[in-house]
Structure 1
Amino acid sequence: MPDVTTRFHTVSLQDGDLELSWAAVTDVGKRRDNNQDAVLAQFPLFIIADGMGGHIGGEIASSRTVARMEAVASGAKVTPREIEKAIKLAVKDIASHPGSTDDGTGTTLTGVYLDLGGLVPHWVTLNIGDSRVYLLRDGRLAQVTTDHSVVQELIAAGRLSPEEAESHPYGNVITRAVGPSDHVKPDYVRLDVVEGDRFVVCSDGLTKELTDYGIQHFLGEHADPGEAVAAMLEAALENGGRDNISIIVLNVGSAPGEDAEPDDESDDDESDADSAA
């Protein structure tokens, strides 16, 4: 099991400080030879990319996309325009490895960022593919993002039930990814900033092994993000670990856990944060 550390950041707002805490992990799982997932957990951007397309191609796609997003997170502000510019650069990066990538090489890109550009701060989720963002609010877990997948389209058309989708032969086929197209854009969802909210960003390696109920169970059992991430990863591995597994848990306004290590970030210096690729 990899080490998991909870990080902290304080955001100064007009009506007071907002305390954030988060933890992230990525693991190869039990059946894959390499890890094609990449993770970035760097205030104010928290994302996961799940690569596809050959033994090396998927790693290139996810790592280059996360590297481009890291530059966005380190910049003046995160906006849809900056995200989409970074995606275009990532597509070029992927295409620049013709010996290792092809037309089927790509990656999901899913996550959430804090938008401080307006009068009132908002969370914004972004999604390309079938990695997911969940939100636990007032004791209820909801999937915020919508999968870009064949089975999701069948569910939306009423031709497939969610239960049938779990074992559908096209369960791994996604309909939107970073890489195959120059013009791909994420879906965005804006959310209010609410004290006590908890976000989970994850690749499908987690949701193949844990139901939504299971995710909510481990959030309820573990208030500290690092402990929640570690517990989910352990359960996913015990349930089979059929794919690479990547998880971010982000607490909004929660108190630090006893075993966590304070982050050295400040609002003026946001570059010293936890990231993995």
Structure 2
Amino acid sequence: MLTLRWGSATDVGRVRTLNEDSLLAVPGLFVVADGMGGHAAGEVASQLAVAEFARLAEQAAVRAEDVAETVRRANEHILAAGAERGDRHGMGTTLTGISVVGAGQDAQGEQLAVFNVGDSRVYQVTEGQLRQLTVDHSAVQELVDAGRLTAQAARTHPRRNVVTRSLGTDPAPDADVWLVQPVAGDRFLVCSDGLTGELQDSDIAELLGQNPDPQAAADELVRQAVAVGGHDNVTVVVLDVVEVLPDQAAQAAQTAQAAQAETAALPSAESQLPPTVTLPSAELGLPPTAPMPSPVPREVNG
């Protein structure tokens, strides 16, 4: 069982007139969707994606497979909505987030499923160290992976806003899904590229470290991104893992397994008895036992 705290914030920025980002921050599910600039009705696409995940949040138990299936359904709904109205044809959105999922067969307790389609991101902070968990699906990331561009140069490259995967496409994009073991004290950041396009990772790490409260951290991240440029919509969710308790079912299974192993290791009662020695009656000081006479048959007259 996990105890989580979180905060969220979004801002239209200083350039755009419409906020095409959407977010969801409810117990067990944290999502950011960035309706892509230059696409028709990007805000509708991001809202449809988040709405599909809001339905997932109502499930009693969520598996990693459910997350991937929800991404597929969200893509279908965006395509269908685009086909209904000409002004929405071609709309799309990125999608990234974190879902609490049940323990797998080999896992102990609940886990975090990190998922991503596009160039919005999820970061993890462990013991003050920030690292990016997701991999951008973008033209510049492919150049970086191929060794043709540095990560720093990718920040100002002309094709930095070109994504290679998004919702609203046919065939449906493959979502990246990772399972992360939660650790008390860890902090996670879910954000649109309106944040990472304005602030360096070192700036993000510093702001996360300076604001222990997740809501204060979310507010400050958005405020700083808007202050230094605000060229795009900015949306963030900050999630803290406060406590990690063993899942009751998993704990019961562990206890039963340990008890079974302990029982198997104990010697049996019979193995603890001394060996049995049969002594002749003379050694016991007893008179020899005479053989019993055989019974004599007799005739019974009825």
Q: CA deviation at 1:94?
A: 2.1
| 1:142-187: CA deviation from partner (whole Å, max 9, x where unpaired) | 0000000000000000000011111100000000001112422210
> Aligned equivalents of 2:137 and 2:68: distance in 1?
17
- The answer for the alignment partner of 1:114 in structure 2 is 100
Deviates further, 50-59 or 219-228? 50-59
The 5-angstrom pairing of residues 102-141 of structure 1 reads 102-103=89-90, 105-118=91-104, 119-120=107-108, 121-141=110-130
Does structure 2 conserve the Cα–Cα contact (< 8 Å) formed by 1:88 and 1:182? Answer: no
Aligned residue pairs total 237
In structure 1, which of residues 16, 31, 34 is the aligned counterpart of residue 15 of structure 2? Answer: 31
- The answer for the alignment partner of 1:275 in structure 2 is none
> Aligned equivalents of 2:184 and 2:69: distance in 1?
32
Structure with greater contact order relative to length (CA < 8 Å, sep ≥ 6): 1
- The answer for the alignment partner of 2:214 in structure 1 is 225
Higher alpha-carbon Rg: 2
Does structure 2 conserve the Cα–Cα contact (< 8 Å) formed by 1:149 and 1:172? Answer: yes
Q: CA deviation at 1:54?
A: 4.6
Distance 1:91 1:100, change over 3 A: farther
Deviates further, 214-223 or 176-185? 176-185
Q: CA deviation at 1:93?
A: 2.5
Q: CA deviation at 1:73?
A: 1.1
Does structure 2 conserve the Cα–Cα contact (< 8 Å) formed by 1:151 and 1:168? Answer: yes
In structure 1, which of residues 243, 246, 257 is the aligned counterpart of residue 232 of structure 2? Answer: 243
Q: CA deviation at 1:57?
A: 1.4
Q: Give the counterpart letter for 1:242 in structure 2.
A: H
Unaligned runs of 5+ in 2: 244-302
Alignment TM-score, normalising by the size of structure 2: 0.75
Do residues 85 (structure 1) and 72 (structure 2) align? no
Does structure 2 conserve the Cα–Cα contact (< 8 Å) formed by 1:27 and 1:245? Answer: yes
In structure 2, which of residues 8, 14, 35 is the aligned counterpart of residue 51 of structure 1? Answer: 35
Structure whose residues are more often helix by fraction: 2
> Aligned equivalents of 1:210 and 1:228: distance in 2?
14
Do residues 101 (structure 1) and 85 (structure 2) align? no
SS in 2 for 1:219: helix
Deviates further, 245-254 or 134-143? 245-254
After superposition, the CA RMSD in angstroms is 1.6
Do residues 165 (structure 1) and 154 (structure 2) align? yes
SS in 2 for 1:83: helix
Alignment TM-score, normalising by the size of structure 1: 0.81
> Aligned equivalents of 1:245 and 1:81: distance in 2?
29
Deviates further, 218-227 or 108-117? 108-117
> Aligned equivalents of 1:204 and 1:221: distance in 2?
22
**% same residue:** 42
> Aligned equivalents of 1:19 and 1:87: distance in 2?
26
> Aligned equivalents of 1:90 and 1:197: distance in 2?
29
Deviates further, 211-220 or 176-185? 176-185
- The answer for the alignment partner of 1:262 in structure 2 is none
Unaligned runs of 5+ in 1: 1-12, 255-277
Does structure 2 conserve the Cα–Cα contact (< 8 Å) formed by 1:53 and 1:106? Answer: no
- The answer for the alignment partner of 1:194 in structure 2 is 183
